[in-house]
Structure 1
């Protein structure tokens, strides 16, 4: 009779539990004597997370899940994601074999932790403030199972994503099928330990997004990480098996990474004021985030139109597909490599997300990377990053992206013919014109020296001065002076304007600001002091004129009230030297050369002659015998006097003369 009443009361208790509309269990655990019935919950010690039941929007199916107390609709982990309960009659408890199980209205087990224990009567499931469900053996304290080892689509702080090198042991996030179905979807998020650690989003086995290499501090393919520290990223190998582990450290805010059903991974932080989640970073977020958007040997630039282009030395594999906006076939090499160490060179691509499949090795500097790549016939490209060393690519170059002012310099191996191919002729004229200008300066200096020693004939002088211009380099933009102009400038060569006599004849004071001077160095224009460095100043002005496509004497920027020199300095110092160039020659592939020419030009127009390079050094800078350039100082004559600024818009002719007492030398025979 006693046993009958015991079973009778037990049945009544169980019936009560199932009929009770809601039972709030003031605990953080489930034991063999506890039945967690939908919609009851257990709560973590600090009330951060709860474990209970929920239904996604648009369905009545029920799932056992971990969710945030502050946001019950934000699901951090799901137990039965592929085995939903059809109604709210489900329950969770500890089974006879010591596992956490979910049962339906027929008391059938639809999900289990499937752990093995030697003392099944002594197991307990607890929920921690990290959101981790832990099944422990109370007799030994051993952890039998935990939800963090089987993530769903959310990565929480202290949860580990693991790549052991074996696909079956990889721990990844797995997306929902849809917003109303948390079953296993098509996308996964994880890390790859191949060569250099990287993060990936995969669709099946196909990568759809890549973080770029981990350098110990940041992921080199996430542009935002170069500008500010994105808190909560770490990658390390810290277990006995050598597994690569990615973990977010514990945070002082509620934070998570969530992979949605569309394959987008987002970093979210809880905002207490708005009582909502704030998305602080996500990927893929733009066109070039898509893995291999431009195919093999293609480069993607979200600021470009179109976004895809072939790397230098390559051309579209299928022009028909490229013209239609399908770039997946990528590009093919135009000319084969020589692979003899002499016939090949490298094209530098600045501010890049480097390609996939990098092979690293320690190196002190870029030069070692270059030598190692040239010595390897299969090496297609290299890059140097201070925290990694060298990165070498021996296979296809894919998933390359142009960043905006940040990133890694990528050096593409090309044949010599490709290094010179398609060079813009308008920009390329800078080198011969400047070289010719330097030659003329040296010739002039040599003739002056020789003339003083009586070693130059009048025929040589005539040949140098009056020989027709070469058809190869047209310097028609340079000013010419007629005899009438010189007569006017010296007031009919008036004797009172005669300053003295030099090696070539009398020297006159110039009364009117001949155009060839806005080229004269400050020390010569203001004080009459002349040296080789004065010619270097003129050379610098000429270089800036060629890049800009404007003459210094005619140029005035009304917006900034700046001369050509001032505009060059402003834009170069603001890292916008590319914007200074003539639009007819400006192109992304020539940006580096243009900015370099501007910097050399600014070095030539420094105020103090001692700060300017000598002519031979300028040649070495232009030919890249000198690779690294010093930073120029701001020229004082960067501002340009403008009549309208003083209100004197119409000055009389007789007062329009140079305030710098320029001199003019006329040539006479002895």
Structure 2
């Protein structure tokens, strides 16, 4: 009796505590709002993948309550607000689906202060929060009738479309907040302008504040840090109603956001799990030159100039007084009349207008587009007296300008376009007297020919001496001679030369305790310069397969490249017989150390997937997005270095080759690479292309999945190699047996199996059947959902050690000279 009396109030209190804890601590166990569910102030709803949260929030420093959506990992990163102009003053607010099928927000008096106002009145309506941050209202037949992505806040989210209908003028844009504490719409909006070539804009009360430059099918050409649709996920298209739109792919594997700050800055950031914060990838405007039309009409802005504004060739400041005071808004005017504007007379006929080329330019606004090759663009513009400038892009064709040239910006390099400005004959570089030109040309040619003959004789003589000396093992090249040859062959742009003594001191005389790795090329040492900077010194051994040619090739190639997934070259050393390359030091060394050592359990699947994607992004940059088109030719785990955050960086460009603009493949009589990673057409026929790197990438993917070296299978009773073994398991519908036990968990099996599928597509025997690396990245990000069935891979039942002979040998059965580096990944 007494126990029952005490138990009843105890149970009541317990139920209150549990119910309260459930509601405030865990949220509602659903991602969907229904008419039967009321979302109270203390409740939250999470998307199925736990990416986004719907609930009530209060901005810092205020007491106002709003219904909104935010990133679950970052509650302060609110992406959408239902009631920015009608906040709640207390915690009595509720949200639900009304009887007429709308999402409604009510205060404590049951007054509706916000509604989705769907056009139709659906039955059995539900609102689901998706992992893209989109709250979608659907009817009973699962038809979308309203969504937050069509009514965005200050954030551009995955799958959202910012659009412009040029026929109706309707735009879908994102809008800044009035202040960080006030979500009322501010002065700035961002979206797409579909007039002419598509461009992204930020507007300040409708006036352009920043412009992205034209979309060329891969990137907005005026956005620093944007790599391509396959890497950054942006794409531009046309909807069924004729609207042009920009969207971004949804990627489950990493979290990123684009948002418009209150001051009109458009920011892209990626979530850093280790720091629990956002890392800014790029922002715009990034500097004064990014501000729209900073230098006025016909002005050119370059942030590294002093002052930053100048006039285009053939133009001068409209107001010299204002210009000298730093007020460039009035811009420039033409100082010399064009030939087109004059009466053609006998004197003028040989003084035609021409074009001055500017490189690395964000081309002006208000361009007109037409199809055509670069030479056609020039002739089209030259024939039309109203044409003031032209540019060409291989993806968009010809761009021409017929009015004022505004918002012209010069970049540091590696981005932008070649831009041709029409100028009068007198403003262009004037040719000298023809007789003088002929005389000087003849003399210069004779001098040049004499010098070439002398150096050819000298080099041949020196080469002959070097060959004889090498045969007898007696010669030693001097430091000055070696350096002179290298500098004569290679133009090292701003790349420091280090002395042998400095590098010896930094590595404690190349002490074995500082050794990071060793291979057929020589040894890599960890070092520290006098200023405290940590470096990695690659010291090529005299017997290295990488000689002076490969050394110079690596210096030339990598000194011209810059990408977050490529290792950074700091300098080099050429002294006597020493050839050394100095790289940035990467704390986690090379991929093979952690991948193939079974005692290492650091690389979980998330890290491995990030490494696969990072290698792919690096290859995409080499193949498509750098100013050089490069085939690496020696992609393997030991050439993938890992930074402190386990991000991959491709290294060792000694065997890389640069392709011409229209070149798809090449043939070499000197086949070099590493056994197990070379594509069949390259190893057997000397033919290499971007698809050769794709083959190596496919081998890498299968090694990352299995944790086994491709070459380790050749002692297996099947003698199939990793590719043959993977192919066998695939055909037996048993891919799980390939997965490394260290990452074999049910959570990731589907994703790992998809990566195995992609790996098998990359190692198909026929290069034509292999996907390009850009397509591979789309497959990895699930932009391409349906994958083709893989065909027979290369080197399975037809490739064994007997085909290539011992390591570092010459193949006798091929017409090509083949050099194979060490068999085991270093």
- TM-score above 0.5: yes
Q: Matched residues in 1 for 2:293 and 2:481: separation?
A: 43
- Match of residue 362 from structure 1: 371
Contact kept? 1:117, 1:137, Cα under 8 Å = no
Which residue in 2 is equivalent to 1:389?
397
**Equivalent residue, structure 1, for 2:260:** 259
> 2:444 & 2:131 partners in 1: Cα distance?
78
Paired residues of 2:64 and 2:87 also in contact (CA < 8 A): yes
Residue among 412, 417, 426 paired with 2:426: 417
Larger Rg: 1
Instruction: Give per-residue Cα distances to partners, 1:96-140, cap 9 Å, x unaligned.
Output: 3221111112221110001143445x22222122221111222x3
State how 1:75-154 maps to structure 2 within 5 Å.
75-120=78-123, 122-138=124-140, 140-154=141-155
Question: Given the superposition, is the C-alpha separation of residues 36 and 375 from structure 1 closer, same or farther in structure 2, using an over 3 Å criterion?
Answer: same
Report what 2:313 is aligned to: 312
Paired residues for 1:204-243 under 5 Å? 204-225=205-226, 230-237=231-238, 239-243=239-243
Q: Secondary structure at the match of 2:289?
A: helix
Pair 1:57 & 2:60 matched: yes
For residues 248 and 392 of structure 1, the distance between their equivalents in structure 2, rounded to whole angstroms, comes to 29
Kept in 2, the 8 Å contact 1:149–1:171? The answer is yes
1:413-472: CA deviations, max 9, x gaps? 11112224xx7xxxx899997754445689xx9xxxxxxxxxxxxxxxxxxxxxxxxxxx
Q: Which residue of 2 aligns with 1:169?
A: 170
Closer, same or farther: CA 255–432 of 1 in aligned 2, 3 Å: farther
Deviation of 1:380 after TM superposition, in Å, equals 0.3
Distance 2:486 2:187 in 1: 57
Tell whether the 8 Å contact from 2:100 to 2:121 is kept in structure 1 after alignment: no
Work out which of the residue numbers 510, 521, 524 in structure 1 matches 2:451.
Answer: 521
The two structures, once aligned, show a CA RMSD in angstroms of: 3.3
Superposition map of 1:514-553 within 5 A = 521=451, 523=453
Cα distance in 1 between the residues matched to 2:32 and 2:209: 40
Q: For 1:316 and 1:56, how far apart are their aligned partners in 2?
A: 48
- Alpha carbons of 1:102 and 1:440: their partners in 2 closer, same or farther (altered >3 Å)? closer
State whether structure 2 residue 378 is matched by structure 1 residue 375.
no
DSSP-derived class of the 2:339 partner: coil
Q: Which has the higher contact order (CA 8 A, sep 6+)?
A: 1
Q: 1:345-364 deviations in whole A, cap 9, x for unaligned? A: 11111221111111111112
CA contact (8 A) 1:187 1:262 kept: yes
Structure 1 counterpart SS, 2:380: helix
Aligned to 2:376, what secondary structure does the other structure show?
helix
Partners in 1 of 2:481 and 2:295 — Cα distance?
Answer: 40
For the residues of structure 2 that align with 1:265 and 1:100, how far apart are their CA atoms? 30
Report the equivalent of 2:785.
none
TM-score normalised over the length of structure 1: 0.61
The residue number in structure 1 matching 2:408 is: 400
1:156 aligned partner = 157
What is the Cα deviation at residue 34 of structure 1? 2.0
Write the distance in 2 (CA, Å) between the matches of 1:568 and 1:388. Answer: 39
CA offset at residue 166 of structure 1? 5.1
State the alpha-carbon separation in 2 of the partners of residues 414 and 429 from structure 1.
19
Distance in 2 separating the partners of 1:44 and 1:434: 74
Alignment partner, residue 324 of structure 2 = 323
2:760 maps to what in 1? none
Give the C-alpha shift of residue 225 in structure 1: 3.7
Instruction: Report the equivalent of 1:181.
Output: 182
Alignment of 1:418-433 (within 5 A): 418-420=427-429
Aligned pair in 2 of structure 1 residues 311, 230: CA closer, same or farther (>3 Å)? Answer: farther
User: d(CA) in 1 for partners of 2:227 and 2:29?
Assistant: 47
CA offset at residue 561 of structure 1?
9.5
> Which residue of the other structure, out of 322, 347, 355, is the alignment partner of 2:356?
347
Q: Tell me if the contact between 2:51 and 2:71 (Cα under 8 Å) persists in the aligned partners.
A: yes
- Residues of 1 paired with 2:311 and 2:125: CA distance? 61
The 3 A distance-change label for structure 1 pair 525 and 209 is closer
Note closer, same or farther for the CA distance 1:275–1:438 as it changes in structure 2 (3 Å cut). closer
Contact 2:225 2:281 in 1 (8 A): no
* Corresponding residue for residue 295 of structure 2: 294
Cα distance in 1 for partners of 2:36, 2:135 equals 18
Contact 1:165/1:243 (8 A) holds in 2: yes
Structure 2 gaps of 5+ residues are 1-15, 459-478, 496-659, 661-826
Work out whether residues 272 and 279 of structure 2, in 8 Å CA contact, stay in contact via their aligned partners in 1.
yes
User: Helix, strand or coil: the match of 1:296?
Assistant: coil
2:65 and 2:48 map into 1 onto residues whose CA distance is 25
**TM-score normalized by structure 2?**
0.50
